[in-house]
């Protein structure tokens, strides 16, 4: 029986920040993942849309009156473009297509599978939670661009309080309970509800500090936030 995969929700703004595709980040990320693959690990990497999705959603909104569902579809296709790019990074080791339905590719034989947005009403965080449930794993990683979950935006408020550990109820007090296309929060509210329901632990880590992420993968202490029941 193959080893259960490690689930990673990879923020789109790490893949393509506002300055363009971050090739050095992708190269270092590739090295870390392949080192773990060499040690016998398997991965499912679900790619977000990030700034690419938000730029397209903003432009689409300015060009016409769109429904929330239409805006969501714009963002979903941005996640799929990002996932195709990352699949190219792992081409020889990856499942031959980007999975969009969380039920797809369940019995993949490769070391790595790339996934992207599924349908409107949630972010790729939710898709990552569904993948975790489908494969029976107890925790997953969410790579973002902040060190922790904070009680408010640390970029705007210097006194923002970081959380090293918290429960799902506390997180929802910060992120709310409803989804909006382009919502920028530490973890999707819809995904949070499902993660709590299935007892999943999510580890929020700053993907810009990949040495720290590597420590987490190795079972060492890491900088980040653990969210659990």
The pTM for the full model equals: 0.93
Q: pLDDT digit string (tens) for 165-186?
A: 999 999 999 888 887 766 677 8
Could you tell me if residue 155 is inside a domain? yes
Contact by Cβ (8 Å): 141, 128: no
Percentages helix, strand, coil for the chain, rounded to the nearest 5?
40, 15, 40
Domain-embedded: residue 170 = yes
Q: CA 204, CA 175: separation in Å to the nearest integer? A: 14
CB 201 within 8 A of CB 226: yes
pLDDT at 101 over 60: yes
Q: What is the mean pLDDT of residues 74-85?
A: 95
Q: Does residue 127 fall inside a structural domain?
A: yes
CATH number of the domain encompassing residue 49: 3.40.1160.10
Mean of pLDDT values over 4-23: 94
Neighbours of 12 (CB within 10 A): 25
The residues near 189 (Cβ < 8 Å, ≥ 6 apart) are: 172, 175, 176, 177, 178, 179, 183
Pair 16, 82: CB distance under 8 Å: yes
The predicted pLDDT at position 180 comes to 72
Residue 1 lies in a domain: no
In total, the chain counts a number of residues equal to: 229
Which domain covers residue 194, as residue numbers? 6-228
Does 21 reside within a domain?
Answer: yes
Confidence of residue 209 (pLDDT cuts 50, 70, 90): very high
Counting Cα atoms < 13 Å in the Cβ hemisphere of 175 gives 23
Which uninterrupted H or E stretch holds 171? helix 168-175
pLDDT in tens, 1-11: 578 999 999 99
Average pLDDT score over residue span 119-148:
92
Number of domains in the chain: 1
Q: C-alpha 112: how far from its chain's center?
A: 15
- In the predicted structure, residue 121 carries a pLDDT above the cut 90: no
With left for phi above 0 and alpha for psi between -120 and 50, is residue 11 left, alpha or beta? Answer: beta
**Per residue in 24-79, pLDDT tens?**
999 999 999 999 999 999 999 999 998 888 899 999 999 988 888 999 899 999 99
Residue 187 lies in a domain: yes
């Amino acid at each position: 029986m193959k080893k259960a995969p490690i689930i990673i929700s990879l923020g789109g703004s790490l893949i393509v920040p506002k300055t363009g595709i971050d090739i050095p980040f992708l190269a270092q990320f590739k090295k870390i993942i392949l080192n773990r693959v060499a040690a016998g690990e398997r991965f499912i990497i679900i790619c977000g849309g990030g700034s690419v999705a938000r730029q397209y959603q903003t432009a689409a909104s300015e060009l016409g009156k769109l429904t929330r569902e239409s805006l969501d579809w714009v963002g979903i296709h941005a996640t799929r473009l990002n996932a195709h790019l990352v699949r190219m990074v792992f081409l020889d080791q990856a499942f031959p297509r980007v999975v969009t339905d969380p039920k797809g590719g369940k019995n993949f034989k490769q070391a790595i599978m790339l996934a992207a947005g599924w349908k409107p009403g949630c972010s790729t965080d939710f898709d990552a939670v569904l993948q975790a449930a489908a494969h029976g794993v107890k925790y997953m990683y969410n790579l973002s661009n902040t060190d922790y979950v904070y009680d408010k935006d640390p970029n705007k408020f210097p006194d923002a309080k970081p959380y090293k550990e918290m429960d799902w109820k506390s997180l929802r007090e910060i992120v709310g309970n409803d989804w909006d296309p382009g919502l920028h929060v530490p973890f999707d509210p819809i995904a949070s509800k499902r993660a709590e329901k299935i007892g999943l632990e999510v580890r929020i880590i700053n993907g810009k500090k990949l040495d720290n992420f590597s420590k987490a993968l190795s079972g060492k202490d890491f900088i980040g936030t653990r969210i659990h029941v």
